[in-house]
Amino acid sequence: MYREEQLKALIQGHKILIAGYGREGKSAEALIKRLVPEAPYTIAVQVENGKWKAENGEWHEDWPFDMVIKSPGIPNFQFPIFNFQLTSLTDLFLQVYGDMTIGVTGTKGKSTTASLIHHLLPGSILAGNIGIPLFDILDELREDSIVVAELSCHQLENIHRAPHISVLLNLFQEHLDHYENYLGYKMAKMQIALKQREGDHFFYCTDNEELNLLVKSYELRVKSELHPYSIKKITDEERDLLAVCHLEGEHNRSNTLVASRVVSLITRKPLSDFHFPISTFHGLRHRMEMVGCYKGITWYDDSISTIPAAAIAAVKALGRVDTLILGGFDRGIDYTPLVDFLKESPIKNLVFVGAAGRRMLSTFHFPLSTYIVEDDYKKIVPWCAEHTPQGGVVLLSPAAASYDAFKNFEHRGDFFREQILKLNQNEKN
């Protein structure tokens, strides 16, 4: 294992609590057993109000540990203020391998941007929040490796070392159930710049007002080289490059712009070299994905949309949307921008799902032409088919989280697609 001794030194000699036993918790346990098998560790399946629950279901108030390896889903405020080191797999990984890592974060677009950078860098290793724990790639690492890591706010909040190249795409209200306030969320994201070193590089989008203001506020504390970018200020060479991009919407043009600039910086190649690979990149599932044409209607799955800005961007990118499906789990996000946008929109049919959908509906202080309030997608899809005209477009872009009724946004998108297929099969039968 490359740099095994450096990694081992971070863990050795500690009495460890693994907080959270999902994918990352199990990866942390495997790492300890592999590197320091003699290290004493305990597993907490849950942490709440300064207490931790053991695997046998017993709750404990004592904390006889000097290191806690925290899973991303557990908020920092659940831990007591004791004298132990609070870390994470991401933190440990970046302390050792940060100099060979490109980190991508942002409220929206990070999976697409990280995947595109990986696509433009043959031989790079894609991992992180995209579904591959960073420590699951250790055996692939070599001296010349480049890791492209999608990083969530939860993974960034406790880091001591940021990636050598960091990308912060945008900031919108999100994960307010995990942080005490919006500032806490923004500062978790900002660690990707604040924990960089001299000689590192930080790319950020000036088109996003929240992000631009935040960077200006902390600019003097950032030690790395700043690379602001804007889709409104591009060169002719970049305009030609974006012309071959298949991803729809200005937000995806912005993601493609920064991905190409990052790769150009690393490889020292001109942007003209990236025309073919960008032309062969067709995006990820559940991100404005056309899932078929049934009953003369085009159906789009944008289940990744969990905030108002994402739904607005999807509608703008498609141009025509006749029926829009909104709502899901309510995390207290401000839906005023979305409501204001829809007030001026020609969209005729709206579907409101879950607690978030009901709250959205309550803020519409103007007449709606056609809408339903419905939580069952088995009923939603046929309603959309009945009310959407031939040649029309149905868009699932909920602007809300999915875990009131689904395991995650992928599950929601897959279920939506299944109902469309059933609709088509029933029509043939």
Exposure of 410 by Cβ count < 10 A (0-12 exposed, 13-18 middle, 19+ buried)?
A: middle
> What pLDDT is attached to residue 138?
93
> What pLDDT is attached to residue 161?
98
> What pLDDT is attached to residue 173?
85
> What pLDDT is attached to residue 382?
96
> What pLDDT is attached to residue 428?
63
Q: Please tell me the CATH code under which domain 90-279 is placed.
A: 3.40.1190.10
> What pLDDT is attached to residue 208?
95
- What string of pLDDT tens digits covers the 429 residues of the chain? 899 999 999 999 999 999 999 988 999 999 999 999 999 999 999 999 999 999 999 999 999 999 999 998 898 889 998 789 999 999 999 999 999 999 999 999 999 999 999 999 999 999 999 888 898 899 999 999 999 999 999 999 999 999 999 999 999 987 666 787 899 999 999 999 999 999 999 999 999 999 999 999 999 999 999 999 999 999 999 999 999 999 989 999 999 999 999 999 999 999 999 999 999 998 899 999 999 898 899 999 999 999 999 999 999 999 999 999 999 999 999 999 999 999 999 999 999 999 999 999 999 987 888 999 999 999 999 999 999 999 999 999 999 999 999 999 999 999 999 999 998 787 665
Residue owning tokens 């991508």: 104
C-alpha span between 243 and 274 (Å, rounded)? 12
351 bridge partner residues:
325, 372
> What pLDDT is attached to residue 176?
66
Instruction: Assign domain 289-428 to its CATH superfamily.
Output: Mur ligase, C-terminal domain (3.90.190.20)
